[in-house]
Amino acid sequence: MKMKRELRSNFAIGSPRWATRRTMWRALGITDEEMKRPKIAIVNSSSNLAICFSHLDDIAKKMKEAIYAAGGLAFEVRTSAPSDFITVVGGHGGYIQGGRDLITNDIEAQVEGAYLDGMICLASCDKTVPGQIMAAARLNIPTLVFACGYQPAGKYRGKHMDIEDVFAQAGHYAAGRITLEELTEMTEVAIQGPGVCPGLGTANSTHMMTEALGLALPGSTPLLANSRKMWDAVRTAGERIVQMVWDDMKPRDILSPESFANAVMLMLSAGCSINTVKHLQAIATEAELDVDVFGLFDKYGPKIPLLTAVRPNGEHTIEELEAAGGAQALMKQLESLMFRDAKTLTGQTLGEVLQNVKVADEEIIRPLDRALAYRPAIVMVKGSLAPGYGIIKLAVANDRPMKFTGPAIIYQSGEEAMEGLKKGEIKAGMVAVVRGLGPKTTPGMGQASNFIFALDGAGLTGKVAVVTDGLLSGLVNKTLLVGEISPEAMDGTPLALVENGDLITIDVEQRIVDLEVSEDVLAERRKHAQDFRRKERGWLSIYQSCVSPLNKGAVLVDVDKK
């Protein structure tokens, strides 16, 4: 351990701050000697509402012991814990994306309010990871993000079955293609233990993203929840965070334009969740870095080949990805393209971390010269319909049309689109426009995924296209889908001006999404543009009044600065 330094959490003996802290902490059984230790927050985004968080309390207990053994003093603090499959119901789904920024502010209030020296963040479901890293970047105190692992999946009639499969099959049930008994049986077997969804959805994507940024232990993502490897990592993490405090190694010492570029390359190489785009942008904003993450995805998309095909992008499992070496092995295959001098929380550069890494299975994690595909896995598109950006996700075995022109059919919510589908309004050749789901409009972003799965259940996969400003949580499908369009549909933006029958053109290869309507016509429509914002109270109202645009990361900013 390096020479100790003065800690910000220690106040002058005899001062009011010292006296009141000592009174509170002595009542908790903490000794005077222990009060001199580095005081480290264990940020526990735990909840009994969802299985993805159900093991975090046990991890927090072991982490506390590990920190104490390493010479630190741990304090467990709690935050909000949004789950895509549970807390999506209220507020038109706005509490999911809105929950990310609530986590950031929860952490600020407790950790900065108490003036602690560092923190370990227990990362689990989708929004906990970026919310925690955003707080780390904002507070800039020594931070380690600990990915708490994925859940073991089950089998249904001899075939792999996880919660994403259940989500998709619910759309098939709605279309009458499976029975209620079959769907119910799937729900019984899909989850076999705690942890996040076992695929390259948003949770595992953000876990791996964190390692690429340099804020997670090397080789710790993805990993099976409650595995021996995870518990070993708990001990290592407890030791490391104490040393990081003594070294005063802070997130802004690690986060750099190069580390963001590395994270983008990793996301592209695995076809990760498109949610990582806005989350990385939000982290860069909180770190006060001048990094255009959307531009990085646009720049590196054509250059980074697809090296692995994990569900839902392909047929390999997350277990196979972990066994092949996980994020670290993927970065080893990408090493010649990555910024090897980027720093990591180990004190080593990325190049030094990767020096002795071996890829255990080059069929699961391919080398650059034998990639699965040499086209972008995540395609950033622009055009008259999306002057900011829209995002298209491509799977490995992509047989959808790469160019599509069709008449628009307009829906103002995911629920309305579902009803239109049931009524038979959506026909082959149409472009379904599902709008009013953006960060400001919903507020907090509404889910469009249910509708996409329902299209598949209705047999319209590949026969229609979809554009939306809504949230698509790690979704991959065979419908040509442009998601998270910005600017969103409010206050006269292009998406708000589309009318039924307008022609929309999507060209993946040219990276274009255009509304084939003259500017004169749009100017006239703009005079009578609808304000799509929902009127809310409470947290969502605060979020709506402060949130920045998607291509700025949808972070909360002072109203006066908007």
533: burial class by Cβ within 10 Å (0-12, 13-18, 19+)?
A: middle
Write out the two tokens for 212. 């690429």
**Active-site residue, 473 included:** yes
- Contact between 512 and 383 (Cβ < 8 Å): yes
Residue-level length of the chain? 562
Q: Which residues contact 529 (CB under 8 A, 6 or more apart)?
A: 491, 492, 496, 497
CB 326 within 8 A of CB 221: yes
Q: Residue 435 carries which side chain, given as an amino acid letter?
A: R
Q: How many CA atoms lie within 13 A of 290 on its CB side?
A: 0
Q: Which of 434, 440, 442 is nearest to 549 (CA)?
A: 440
Helix (H, G, I), strand (E, B) or coil at 149: coil
* Token output for 542: 């605060």
Q: Euclidean distance between the first and final Cα of the chain, in Å?
A: 45
Do residues 246 and 2 make contact, with C-beta atoms less than 8 angstroms apart?
A: yes
**Phi, psi of 267, deg, nearest 5:** -60, -40
Structure tokens at 201: 């959805």
Residue-wise DSSP of 348-359: SBHHHHHTT---
Q: Distance (Å, rounded) from C-alpha 178 to C-alpha 185?
A: 11
Give the amino acid at 491.
D
Tokens representing residue 8 in the block: 């910000």
DSSP code at position 7:
-
Q: What is the C-alpha to C-alpha distance for residues 10 and 18, in angstroms, rounded to an integer? A: 8
Q: Are 142 and 117 in contact (CB under 8 A)?
A: yes
Catalytic, out of 45, 413, 473, 548: 473
User: Taking a C-beta distance cutoff of 8 angstroms, is the pair 446, 92 a contact?
Assistant: yes
Distance CA 533, CA 440 (A): 7
Q: Catalytic amino acids?
A: 473
